[in-house]
Amino acid sequence: MTLDHLGLLYRNSHEYLTGMTGFVREAVAAGDAVLVAVPGPDVAVFRGALADVNGVVSFTDMAEAGRNPGRIIPGVLLAFAAAHPGRRTSIVGESLWPGRTALEQPACFQHEALINAVFAERDTTILCAYDATRLDGSVLADAWRTHPAMIVDGVRRGSGSYADPIAAAARFNQPLPGAPERCARFAYAAPTDLGRVRRFVAEHAAKAGLAETRIEDLVTAVNELAENTLVHTGGGGAVTVWADGGQFVCRITDAGHLTDPLAGRIPPSSRTEGGRGLLLAHHLCDLVRVHTTPDGTMFQLYMDAGIGAAP
């Protein structure tokens, strides 16, 4: 069993559709379990183009399921593999489409790099599409770094810049944008502070206009990460919140060092206690960025709110 992780560079809709559907048809003919994971309106396009094999192909909206790139491995790829035990799986997807922000792009490529580690011993083929016309050169260079081979003009080419998955993922462990001068901060140091952490986040998120269900999700995610601080670092941490355009941002900082690059990407065994905090944060939030060093770790959680800029 082995992983075949490919990138597809396309320059127009014809190359996109023919490259992806050709891959799907070959996988179906080989008897693979096949998933098409593409953003929004493209799902309907692929359903139409693959009408003759729709009964044996699964589809998912990557703009929803992969809104946060950190949940694609556990929530899309591993979930699909688990639903088809004993079968080879083939997945076509587009996790970094034109329109992804500069803040999201490193998270997308960290995800792509870690695919190579998580699926190294799995019988899986994953084809990832990249718009070579609308994505800039630095983005395409990162695609070459995170895929062992690329398909260009219909020809498979080995990547000379492909890097070790863990080293490639570490490249995207980047410092995060700073908080504005006017923001609220709450420090916590003991389990008895967690209730106050939850109230602090909920109150500020409500003032910023976040919907009630979104507040509940954010509070749950923050509580999990703050609790991890107390359990794993032997010290306390701090929560900082602010509104930024159409997003509500929550930062959790502590003195711990997150040394496992796969943390939050692989669901732990049901027999294992703990290990779900970052996984849950990825599941609940629209974007999670992490910057970790031996001096401390910063988690930055983003929730789309449809709110105005911070005052």
pLDDT score of 109 more than 70: yes
pTM value surpassing 0.75: yes
Flag the least confident range among 21-25, 83-87, 91-95, 306-310.
306-310
pLDDT value, residue 270? 62
Supply the pLDDT for residue 199. Answer: 98
Average the pLDDT over 46-73 and give the result. 96
Rounded to a whole number of angstroms, the distance between the first and last alpha carbons of the chain is: 55
Sign of CA dihedral 244, 247, 248, 253: negative
Mean pLDDT of all residues belonging to the chain: 94
Which of residues 311 and 177 earns the better pLDDT score? Answer: 177
Give 138-147 pLDDT, tens digit per residue: 999 999 999 9
pLDDT at residue 306 greater than cutoff 90: no
Q: Looking at the predicted structure, is the pLDDT value of residue 253 above 90?
A: yes
Task: Read off the pLDDT band of 274 (50, 70, 90).
Answer: low
Give me the pLDDT at residue 135, please.
97
Q: Do 202 and 210 contact (CB within 8 A), yes or no?
A: no
Binned at pLDDT 50, 70 and 90, residue 271 comes out as low
Contact 221, 301 (CB under 8 A): yes
Q: Looking at residue 309, what is its pLDDT?
A: 40
pLDDT at 307: 54
Sheet holding 155-158, edge to edge: 57-61, 33-38, 89-93, 124-131, 3-10, 149-152, 155-158
Determine the pLDDT at residue 311. Answer: 34
Q: Residue 85: CA atoms inside 13 Å, Cβ hemisphere, count? A: 1
Task: Using the predicted structure, report yes or no on whether residue 273 has a pLDDT greater than 70.
Answer: no
- Structural domains in the chain, sorted by start: 3-170 (3.40.50.300), 184-304 (3.30.565.10)
Q: Nearest to residue 136, comparing CAs of 163, 161, 105?
A: 105
Helices (H) and strands (E) in the chain, counts: 11, 12
- Give me the residues paired with residue 187 across strands: 238
Per-residue model confidence as pLDDT tens digits over 179-202: 999 899 999 999 999 999 999 999
